[in-house]
Amino acid sequence: MPVKTMICVPIFQPNLKSARLTADKALKLGADILELRIDALQDPDIQEVINFIDSLDGRVIATNRTAREGGLFKGSEEERTEILSDVAGHARYVDIELQTGEKLRSRVIKKSGSSIVSFHDFEKTPSVDELLEIVRQEKELGDLAKFAVMPRNLEDTLTVFQVLLQVEDTIGISMGNLGGYTRVTAGLFGSPITYASLDGGSAPGQLDLKTTRLFLDKFTDVDR
């Protein structure tokens, strides 16, 4: 089926002033959507965050990561998910982790227009069957499923593609330098969103926006 992968640039800045500069530059250079890493903001005012998202016409994935999921948020789970619930109706997507407590996770998903339910493993790549089960659980909860895993060898990176060939509406990423190429090729296997950096990645193995844009433009609308 035809695949058009959106390029998402994470905004990992300590304040909204610098976030604005990053957002404007990323959109000018060809980003389709932005991921606002709320966990990177220092003492954010929620209304100002909402105003920031609204100013970008909803082209935002709102995310608020804990250290366990590769983020910086240090408050309680109640505080973290309350922030996401507050901004949920303004962002195009809200990214909430599968491992979030059921009650808190459900509250965020219900408040969001569209949701991404995500899973991260920064140590290894689970088996194809394990990842398919993770994706199944995520898709029962949200609109898009997402998994990002760490490869130990080249074969692990191919696991991502084996999974993507069997599912739809799923973002699949193999992290680190070894898996970096999957960020530009995953679209050929059906991944609706891939992540690229502007001035430095927010996750291991992110490629720069220009490289990612050039590749995806060359291989747009490929039959899966």
Q: Catalytic amino acids?
A: 120, 146
Q: For residue 122, which of 158, 162, 69 has the smallest C-alpha distance?
A: 69
Question: 30 in helix, strand or coil?
Answer: coil
Instruction: Determine contact, residues 29/4, Cβ cutoff 8 Å.
Output: no
Are 45 and 100 contacting, i.e. CB atoms less than 8 angstroms apart?
no
Taking the C-alpha atoms of residue 48 and residue 142, their distance in angstroms, rounded to an integer, is 26
CA distance 25 to 156: 34
Q: What stretches of 74-223 show up as alpha helix (H) in DSSP?
A: 77-87, 102-111, 128-141, 154-164, 176-179, 182-185, 209-218
Q: Please, what sign has the CA dihedral across residues 7, 179, 128, 166?
A: positive
CA–CA distance, 8 with 33 (Å, rounded to integer): 5
**Residue 137 to residue 139: CA distance in whole angstroms:** 6
Distance of CA 62 to the CA centre of its chain: 9
Q: For residue 60, which of 84, 36, 37 has the smallest C-alpha distance?
A: 36
